[in-house]
Amino acid sequence: MKYPKLIIDLAKIQENAALLNKLCRENGIEPVGVTKVTCGDPEVARAFIAGGIEMLGESRVENARRLREAGINAPMLLLRLPMASQVEDVVKYFQVSLNSELATIEALNRAAANQSTIHKIILMVDLGDLREGIWPDQLETTVKAIAGLEHIQLLGLGTNLTCYGGVIPTQQNLGQLLSLNERAQAVYGRPLPVISGGNSSSLPLLLAGKLPPVTQLRLGESIVLGRETVARAPVPGAHLDCFQLQAEVIELREKPSVPIGEIGQDAFGGTPEFVNKGIHKRAIVALGRQDVAIDSLEAPDGIEIIGASSDHLLLDVTNYASTLAVGDILTFSPGYGALLAAMTSQFVHKEYRH
């Protein structure tokens, strides 16, 4: 066996996808299955599709190329704003992209003309989270310019919430998105059927029956980890253990809880602080910051994560109920950041379970 290892339960991912797909479609919403946290993993994408997801969401051309080369033919939405240097590949691999910059949209128009196709876009509006998006007072001018592009089709408006500024979706800000879409439609002169109302953070409103009538949600964490992203509360009926991260114990000793000597900076330029808990039983596992974001990693019951360097994860195992020895394997639950890092790391082996 090879460690560290990420166990990927495809059956549970498929069941989560089916659960969210059903919830959305019963409410007139198209769910976009976001696979970016898995770096466009084809096996995960197939589980999404088997669960009923029809469109995939990705943030990088490289991930989209990986999916296409693996035979995944589902339509794809580019979630990160396109780079002007990649417009040819964006048109090649993505049917739809999120956009806010008119210069980039014009470049996409030229790329689509070169490929004799129509590229579809969703115009992003900033409703306060302060990531991507035009300001509402720029709407009419921007839509009018888009309407003159022969190889671009505007599908509607979208917004991003919680990802950067932590702004929570509400009936008010999503209601504003609906009103803006009506204004855009009047300028565009054609129906704009897509109102892309955010990500998994919009699920609490949906579950409470209070979500304004958006027509699309971009869902990633709710499928792969079974949680909404406002309070990280479980989605009712969803699996929370689709991914498990395993690492091997490489040292087990009793050591002081405070280093001995003058304290300077650690390997990452920070100055660590320690609480003196006396002598404790400490384990090191072969997993580090090069592999995982430790602040979103949940240790087994009775174990406390006390720190990490590039290649070592330090654990206080004093209160761990089971017997532990060098060579034993410990299983951790990754949060979103830990999962993203583990999927990205070439040093974390992936094991798929069906």
Q: Where are the domains of the chain?
A: 9-224, 243-353
Q: Per residue in 230-265, pLDDT tens?
A: 999 999 999 999 999 999 999 999 998 778 888 788
The fold of the 243-353 domain, in CATH, is Lyase, Ornithine Decarboxylase; Chain A, domain 1 (2.40.37)
Q: Would you call 36 a catalytic residue per the annotation?
A: yes
The mean pLDDT of 212-227, rounded to a whole number, is 98
SS (H, E, C) 130-168: CCCCECHHHHHHHHHHHHCCCCEEEEEEECCCCCCCCCC
Q: Which is it for the CA torsion 288, 292, 296, 299, positive or negative?
A: negative
Q: What was the pLDDT predicted at 136?
A: 97
SS (H, E, C) 176-243: HHHHHHHHHHHHHCCCCCEEECCCHHHHHHHHCCCCCCCCEEEECHHHHCCECCCCCCECCCCCCCCE
Q: Per residue in 51-84, pLDDT tens?
A: 999 999 999 999 999 999 999 999 999 999 999 9
Q: What was the pLDDT predicted at 143?
A: 99
DSSP string, 254-323: EEESS-SS-----TTS---------EEEEEEES--TTT--GGGEEPPTT-EEEEE-SS-EEEE-TT-SS-
Tokens at 190, concatenated: 């054609």
Query: At a CB cut-off of 8 Å and minimum separation 6, what does 125 contact?
Result: 133, 134, 135, 136, 139, 157, 158, 159, 177, 180
Query: What residues form DSSP beta bridges with 308?
Result: 313
> Is the domain defined by 9-224 classed in CATH 3.20.20.10?
yes
Q: What was the pLDDT predicted at 70?
A: 99
Tokens at 255, concatenated: 């050591």
Q: Per residue in 166-183, pLDDT tens?
A: 999 999 999 999 999 999
Name the packing angle between helices 42-50 and 61-69 (round to 10°).
70
Name the catalytic one among 12, 36, 277, 281: 36
Q: What was the pLDDT predicted at 266?
A: 78
Is 243-353 in the same CATH topology as 9-224?
no
Q: How confident is the model at residue 133 (pLDDT cuts 50, 70, 90)?
A: very high
- Interatomic CA distance for residues 195 and 28, integer angstroms: 11
